[in-house]
Amino acid sequence: MAKQWGGRFEAQTDALVEALGQSVSYDARLAPWDIRASIAHARMLGQEGIITRADSRKIVAGLTAIAKDIDAGRFTFDPSLEDVHTNIESALVTRIGDAGKRLHTGRSRNDQVATDVRLWMRDQIDTILKLLKAIQAAFVDFAEAHVEVILPGCTHLQHAQPVLLAHHMLAYFEMFARDRDRFTQLRARVNVMPLGSAALAGTPYPINREWVAKELGFERISANSMDAVSDRDFVIEFCAAASLTMMHLSRFSEELILWSTPEYHFIEIGDSYTTGSSIMPQKKNPDVAELVRGKTGRVYGDLTALLTLMKGLPLTYNRDLQEDKEALFDASDTVQLCLAVVTRMIPSIHIHAHAMESATREGYLEATDVADYLVGKGMPFREAHSVVGRIVLYCSRNGRRIPELSVKEFRSFAACFDADIVDALSVESIVRRRDNPGGTSPRRVREALRKARKSL
């Protein structure tokens, strides 16, 4: 059993309490960032004369050696020492003696852990931004390779209007662009240094917070010590941004799952990103897409756990805050893995262009354009909408498609139909007419592709 901190306690910590309270089994991953912050803090203490320069140099050398041992896998973390911070400080004292005991001057584990998590998160955000850019590039590559393919665009999972497949793929480009914006904006809010807030009230030592912030790459220092040690908004916001990214990955995964079914037969996902069945030899299951869809709920759970954790905490630090890390680490690991694997999967997808284009002949995708045609002839849109509804009903009852109707049949519904209605109803012409900015016309889609490529 572990001995309690300082001289206040006579009894040792109960073994079950030790098991309940340890966090080193998961926060050991913060070690590189913890050491980096401690080195900056030690240098500042020496420069400001709070400790001797000789002790400052010993501390920096000792921490540097510990970092090398951790990196090489030679460092053993002791769960009885609770957390990563105490493990490193204990090892430092063992290696360099009393000088190591001076490292914690002018700080608390409260501001120490808040600083470590912000340093760690800043690097994770940088990695996620690269992954988001990579998946956007994959969507652009895929769209450029299939820029002529037309498929049914849907609302309510019902065929609605024909669109270019490239236009469909660029919709996901836009989703991940918003994700990049969110993480970029979050990074600025993360990049605030709480170190120097100490336990909750600041410190009486003449520390130089601005110097440490600059040394660690923080853009500014926290304004209120009580808020700084208890703030986990940035952790929640990270998980919220990760949840939105996972939601976008899940939406794409759901479409791949649908499109790969025999009923759709729009695509075939590459062998490296599918699996077989233990008893059915014919199966080729879209497991990667299904796993990504499933892991989305896991990240949502991380976000919910953090919101629930924080909702009842008074100022300032409470031990509950130790529970933020597992959810945060899980969300970060999950979103990074899913972004990476989906990015690799995209180029493996084979498009069945003929099946997509054949599907545009089902579901009366031309209906809106017939209404627009009538509007062009002077009919009010609501009246045109009603006329085309009757045309669809007629076709449905008679097993006909709208483009199969003769001009005479069209005129039985409205006298303003002319022979030009026939040419207006090809899917190519329908797509081509959607030529406003943001539309699905080939010209607009190629323009969007150029802009997307330039933005990357």
Name the pLDDT band for 327 (thresholds 50, 70, 90): very high
pLDDT tens for 155-201 read 999 999 999 999 999 999 999 999 999 999 999 999 999 999 999 99
Catalytic residue IDs = 156, 277
The predicted model gives 343-351 an average pLDDT of: 98
Determine if the peptide bond prior to 316 is cis (ω within 30°).
yes
CB-side neighbour CA atoms (13 Å) of 189: 14
Record: fold of 110-152+163-358: Fumarase C; Chain A, domain 2 (1.20.200)
CA distance 171 to 190: 29
Among 6-15, 264-273, 326-335, which stretch is predicted with the lowest mean pLDDT? 6-15
pLDDT band at 1 (very low <50, low <70, confident <90, very high): very low
pLDDT of residue 7: 67
Q: What percent of the chain has pLDDT over 70?
A: 98
Asked if the model's pLDDT at residue 254 lies above 90, the reply is: yes
| CATH architecture of the domain with range 360-455 | Orthogonal Bundle (1.10)
Contact 26, 326 (CB under 8 A): yes
State pLDDT tens for residues 105-122: 999 999 999 999 999 999
pLDDT of residue 6: 62
Q: What is the mean pLDDT of residues 261-276?
A: 96
Q: How far apart are CA 20 and CA 141, in angstroms?
A: 50
Higher pLDDT, 345 or 21: 345
β-pair type (267-268, 350-351): antiparallel
Q: What is the mean pLDDT of residues 40-49?
A: 98
**pTM for the complete prediction?**
0.95
Q: Which range has the worst mean pLDDT, 113-117, 246-250, 281-285?
A: 281-285
Beta carbons of 402 and 369 less than 8 angstroms apart: no
Distances (CA, A) of 150 to 271, 356, 371, 440: 25, 7, 21, 10
Cβ 34 vs Cβ 107: under 8 Å: no
Other Cβ atoms within 10 Å of 158 Cβ, number:
9
d(CA 375, CA 307): 52
What does the domain layout of the chain look like in residue ranges?
15-105, 110-152+163-358, 360-455
CATH, range 15-105: 1.10.275.10
The pLDDT, as a whole number, for residue 9 is 74
Please tell me which residue, 64 or 281, carries the higher pLDDT value.
64
Segment 389-406 mean pLDDT? 96
